[in-house]
Structure 1
Amino acid sequence: MELDNRIIGTVRKTLKKYQAQKVLIAVSGGVDSMVLLNVIAQILPTDKFGIVNVDHDLRPESAAEVKFVQDYCLKNDYQFFTTKWLNKPNDDIGMEAAARKFRYDFFEEVMKNDNFDTLLTAHHGNDLAENILMKLIRSGNAYEVVSLKERRDFNKKQIVRPFLDFAKQELSEYADIHNIKHVQDETNFANVTLRNRLRNNIFPELQKENGQLLGHFRFFDQQLTALIELAKQQFLQIEHLMELTENNQQIVGLIKPILTLNQEQQTLFWGNFFTKRRLDITVSNRQINQIIEIIVGNDANASVNLENSWQFIRTYDQFVVKKVQTQDLRELKLQLDQSVKFDNKQMTISETTDDESLAWNKKPQKITLRTRRDGDKLLISNGQHQKLSKRFINEKIPGYERDNYLVLLFDNQIVWVEKIYNMGDYLKKGNKHYKINFVEVKE
Structure 2
Amino acid sequence: MASAAAVAVGGASMTQNILEQFERHLRQGRFFAKDDLVVAAVSTGVDSMVLLDLLQRLPKGQRPRLLVAHVNHELRAQSTVEESYLVEYCRRAGVALRVAHWPKADHPKHGVEEAARRFRYAFFKRLLVEYHASTVVTAHHANDLAETMLMKLTRGGQLDQLVGIRDRRPLGTGQLVRPLLAFTKDELYQYARERGLKWFEDQTNQELTVARNRYRHQIIPALKKENPQLIPHLLDYRAQLTELLSWRDQELNRLLATALVADRLQLAALKKLPPFQQTELLRYWLEEAGVVDLKDSLIGQLRHVLINPQKPQEHFELPGGQALVKNYGECWLENLNKLPSRQQKTAVYMVKLGQQYPIDKRQKLLVADTKSAFANADRVTEMWLSPDQLPLTLRPWQPGDRLRLKGGGHQPVHRVLIDQKVKTAARRSQLVLVDARGMVVWLVNRKWSWFDRPDDYRQRWQQLFIGITK
What TM-score comes out, normalization by structure 2 length? 0.58
Contact 1:26 1:120 in 2 (8 A): yes
Contact 1:150 1:164 in 2 (8 A): yes
1:151 paired residue number = 168
Cα displacement (A) at 1:47: 6.0
Structure 1 Cα separation of the partners of residues 78 and 334 of structure 2: 46
Contact 1:35 1:175 in 2 (8 A): yes
1:208 to 225, 229, 233: 225
1:297 to 290, 299, 308: 308
Structure 1 Cα separation of the partners of residues 53 and 260 of structure 2: 51
Q: Which AA in structure 2 matches 1:41?
A: Q
Cα displacement (A) at 1:212: 1.2
2:20 paired residue number = 9
1:92 to 110, 116, 121: 110
Cα displacement (A) at 1:241: 6.0
Cα displacement (A) at 1:275: 6.6
Q: Which AA in structure 2 matches 1:264?
A: F
1:262 paired residue number = 274
2:182 paired residue number = 165
2:43 paired residue number = 28
Cα displacement (A) at 1:239: 5.3
Alpha-carbon spacing, 1:137–1:109, altered in 2? closer, same or farther (3 Å) = same
1:75 to 88, 92, 100: 92
Cα displacement (A) at 1:204: 0.6
1:142 to 137, 159, 169: 159
Contact 1:136 1:145 in 2 (8 A): yes
Contact 2:323 2:336 in 1 (8 A): no
Alpha-carbon spacing, 1:303–1:324, altered in 2? closer, same or farther (3 Å) = farther
Matched, 1:284 2:312: no
Contact 2:147 2:216 in 1 (8 A): yes
Cα displacement (A) at 1:201: 0.9
2:331 paired residue number = 318
Structure 1 Cα separation of the partners of residues 117 and 200 of structure 2: 20
5 Å matches for 1:392-403?
Answer: none
Alpha-carbon spacing, 1:323–1:197, altered in 2? closer, same or farther (3 Å) = farther
Alpha-carbon spacing, 1:101–1:80, altered in 2? closer, same or farther (3 Å) = same
Q: CA-to-partner distance for each residue in 1:29-81, whole Å, 9 max, x for gaps? A: 11111111111111055762222223344555545444433332222111222
Structure 2 Cα separation of the partners of residues 73 and 278 of structure 1: 45
Q: CA-to-partner distance for each residue in 1:146-183, whole Å, 9 max, x for gaps? A: 14122334456433322222211111121122221112
Contact 2:108 2:115 in 1 (8 A): no
Contact 1:143 1:271 in 2 (8 A): no
Percent pairwise identity: 29
Q: CA-to-partner distance for each residue in 1:343-383, whole Å, 9 max, x for gaps? A: xxxxxxxxxxxxxxxxxxxxxxxxxxxxxxxxxxxxxxxxx
Structure 2 Cα separation of the partners of residues 56 and 277 of structure 1: 40
Contact 2:67 2:95 in 1 (8 A): yes
Structure 1 Cα separation of the partners of residues 289 and 325 of structure 2: 19
Contact 2:255 2:281 in 1 (8 A): no
5 Å matches for 1:125-274?
Answer: 125-154=142-171, 157-238=174-255, 253-254=264-265, 256=267, 261-269=273-281
1:54 paired residue number = 71
Cα displacement (A) at 1:129: 1.0
Which fold has the larger relative contact order, with Cα–Cα distance below 8 Å and residues 6 or more apart in sequence? 2
1:364 paired residue number = none
Return 5+ residue gaps in structure 2 as ranges.
1-11, 339-470
* Cα root mean square deviation, aligned: 3.5
Alpha-carbon spacing, 1:116–1:190, altered in 2? closer, same or farther (3 Å) = same
Which stretch has the larger CA shift, 84-93 or 102-111? 84-93
Alpha-carbon spacing, 1:129–1:287, altered in 2? closer, same or farther (3 Å) = farther
Which stretch has the larger CA shift, 162-171 or 288-297? 288-297
2:348 paired residue number = none
1:423 paired residue number = none
Helix, strand or coil at the partner of 1:320? strand
Structure 2 Cα separation of the partners of residues 285 and 26 of structure 1: 38
Cα displacement (A) at 1:233: 2.5
What TM-score comes out, normalization by structure 1 length? 0.61
Contact 2:145 2:164 in 1 (8 A): no
Alpha-carbon spacing, 1:30–1:237, altered in 2? closer, same or farther (3 Å) = same
- Greater C-alpha Rg: 1
Contact 1:188 1:196 in 2 (8 A): yes
Alpha-carbon spacing, 1:210–1:90, altered in 2? closer, same or farther (3 Å) = closer
Q: Which AA in structure 1 matches 2:298?
A: Q
Alpha-carbon spacing, 1:90–1:152, altered in 2? closer, same or farther (3 Å) = closer
Structure 1 Cα separation of the partners of residues 86 and 113 of structure 2: 22
Structure 1 Cα separation of the partners of residues 227 and 237 of structure 2: 15
Alpha-carbon spacing, 1:74–1:136, altered in 2? closer, same or farther (3 Å) = same
Return 5+ residue gaps in structure 1 as ranges.
246-251, 326-443
Contact 2:152 2:164 in 1 (8 A): no
Contact 1:128 1:148 in 2 (8 A): yes
Cα displacement (A) at 1:134: 0.8
Contact 1:146 1:221 in 2 (8 A): yes
Alpha-carbon spacing, 1:284–1:215, altered in 2? closer, same or farther (3 Å) = same
Contact 2:260 2:266 in 1 (8 A): no
